[in-house]
């Protein structure tokens, strides 16, 4: 395994008693990059390290002979999550304030303040959401096999039926 960051650890996950690769069980460190290790094609693995965004769980298959890891920064990912959260909150606040300003009587002295505040928070929130998405993507960890095929990447912020997951 080769990595572009020091301290990149390859971990093996025990999923035998947990019902599948989507559930995290006990982890065992296999090696720290750069390293050579014999891996089971039926095993489930992940990448982890200090200040490195954890990868998704992945398998290596029968033909994988080498792993190349491009690590993402956990600080960049956290910044993306923060920007995304603030962006959503700002957009919601603007979506509440703007209609209030637009429905006020045109002669009301508070109308311009409500409209300006509404548009500012909606547009600022949209900009923060965009920044959050870009930072979230930039902070991902990707794992490739020796042939260049992607095996896994980090799970960035995503919207699920249960809410926003970071």
pLDDT bin (cut points 50, 70, 90) of residue 121 is: very high
pLDDT at 39 over 90: no
Can you tell me the distance from the alpha carbon of 59 to that of 45, in angstroms, rounded to the nearest whole number?
6
pLDDT (average), residues 131-160:
79
24 sits in the region (left: phi over 0; alpha: psi -120 to 50; else beta) called beta
User: Parallel, antiparallel, or unpaired for β 44-48 and 27-32?
Assistant: unpaired
CB 98 within 8 A of CB 114: yes
Name the average pLDDT for the chain: 84
CA distances 71 to 13, 48, 59, 109, 115, Å, are: 19, 9, 18, 54, 44
Highest mean pLDDT among 64-68, 94-98, 147-151 belongs to 94-98
Longest dimension (CA), the chain: 76
Mean pLDDT of 3-30: 75
Q: What tokens appear for 97 in the block?
A: 């304030």
- Rounded CA separation 4/50 (Å): 13
Looking at per-residue confidence, does 146 or 144 come out higher? 144
Give me the residue spans of the domains in the chain.
Answer: 2-72+140-155, 75-136
pLDDT at 98 over 60: yes
Quick check: pTM over 0.85? no
pLDDT exceeds 70 at position 160? no
Percentage of residues of the chain with pLDDT beyond 70: 86
């Amino acid at each position: 395994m080769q990595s572009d960051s020091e301290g990149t650890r390859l971990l093996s996950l025990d999923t035998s008693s947990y019902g599948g690769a989507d559930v995290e069980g006990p982890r065992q460190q296999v090696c720290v990059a750069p390293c050579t290790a014999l891996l089971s094609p039926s095993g489930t693995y992940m990448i982890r390290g200090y200040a490195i965004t954890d990868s998704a769980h992945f398998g290596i298959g029968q033909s994988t002979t080498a792993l190349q890891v491009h690590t993402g920064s956990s600080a960049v990912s956290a910044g993306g999550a923060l920007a995304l959260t603030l962006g959503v909150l700002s957009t919601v606040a603007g979506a509440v304030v703007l209609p209030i300003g637009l429905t006020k009587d045109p002669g009301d002295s508070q109308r311009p303040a409500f409209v300006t505040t509404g548009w500012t928070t909606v547009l600022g929130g949209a900009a923060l959401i965009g920044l959050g998405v870009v930072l979230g993507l930039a902070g991902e960890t990707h794992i490739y096999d020796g042939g260049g095929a992607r095996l896994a990447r980090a799970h960035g912020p995503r919207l699920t039926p249960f809410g926003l997951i970071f």
